[in-house]
Amino acid sequence: MSIMLNSVNQSLHTYRNNSTASSDSIRKIASGSKYPGAAYGPASYAILQRTYSRIGAVQQANANAQNSNAMLSTAAAAAGNTVDMLSSLRSNILEAANGTNAGSDLSALQKSVDQTIAGLDDNVASATYNGMRLLDGSKTTTVQSVDGYTNIQLGDLTSQGLGLTDNSGKSTINLTDTSSLGDALDKVDSALNKALDQATTLGAAQQGLNYQSANLTTQQENLLASASTDGDTDIAAEATKKATSDTLGQTALWAIKQGLQNFNQQTMGALGGINNHSRGAALKMLM
């Protein structure tokens, strides 16, 4: 009888272990992770969670870089337009300096110059991103990376910021007075240099963001590959393990039932047997 009870206890132990193993396999398959909780391996779980945290930071940094690049693209396009307009303005001044022009010619050139200067302000007014003006001197953009921040100063490319209009918005370029053409050319050259400096600053910042985004993308791919290698469940292997645990558990359950039935039959004569209610309750509990 003692041997029979030991066999039942052994079967109970086998059933309990395989039920636990089956539950673990189900959780791993459902989560797709070898470590769905710290209980499955505290050190490995902690390392994996730190990796996932790093992946999240890299993803956000990459999104920040791409969003900043989109904003800088808007500013760069406007800066390029400013350079084109200033180049046209310079050509008008050089044309006005030609001694073959009559007064009416200079007046026509002056009108063209005034329109170009007004266009500079229209260009700046249209250079907006997410409701923010980019090239009126009010904006400094902060680009967030994984490990810090980079500030990019956006300059003032308005006609006044370029020195082509005074505080009241009146043009400082006068082509009708030929004696002032040299001064006008100097002002436009200064404005052109400022616009070119802004355009190259934006271009360098965009280039840096492109490199950063490419590096972050590579870093993200490597981190994902590492996390997958270290933490992803082999679904097929885990399904096989679950099937094995279920089979062993069912076999142990059958052995327990048989053991209880045999135990009941052997003790029925000497002890009056185990009543049907107790037997049914025991078997129901095992199910």
Q: What is the pLDDT of residues 192-220, one digit of tens each?
A: 999 999 999 898 888 888 888 888 889 88
Tell me what pLDDT residue 229 has.
79
- Same domain, residue pair 184 and 155: yes
**Residue at 132 is within a domain:** yes
- Same domain, residue pair 8 and 84: no
Instruction: Using CA atoms of 20, 21, 23, 26 in order, give the dihedral in degrees to the nearest 10.
Output: 180
Range of the domain at 7: 2-32+235-286
Kind plus residue range of the DSSP H or E element containing 223: helix 181-231
Q: Which two tokens stand for residue 247?
A: 């089979």
- Same domain, residue pair 153 and 247: no
Q: Is 273 left (phi over 0), alpha (psi -120 to 50) or beta?
A: left
Tell me what pLDDT residue 66 has.
87
- Same domain, residue pair 88 and 150: yes
Identify the CATH number of the domain in which residue 144 sits: 1.20.1330.10
- Same domain, residue pair 207 and 276: no
Sign of CA dihedral 276, 281, 286, 287: positive
Last residue of a domain, one of 216, 231, 246: 231
Domain count, the chain: 2
- Same domain, residue pair 67 and 150: yes
Can you tell me the distance from the alpha carbon of 281 to that of 268, in angstroms, rounded to the nearest whole number?
17
Q: What is the pLDDT of residues 143-173, one digit of tens each?
A: 665 566 777 778 899 999 999 999 888 999 8
Q: What is the pLDDT of residues 35-44, one digit of tens each?
A: 777 777 788 8
- Same domain, residue pair 137 and 272: no
Contact between residue 233 and residue 48 where contact means Cβ atoms under 8 Å apart = no
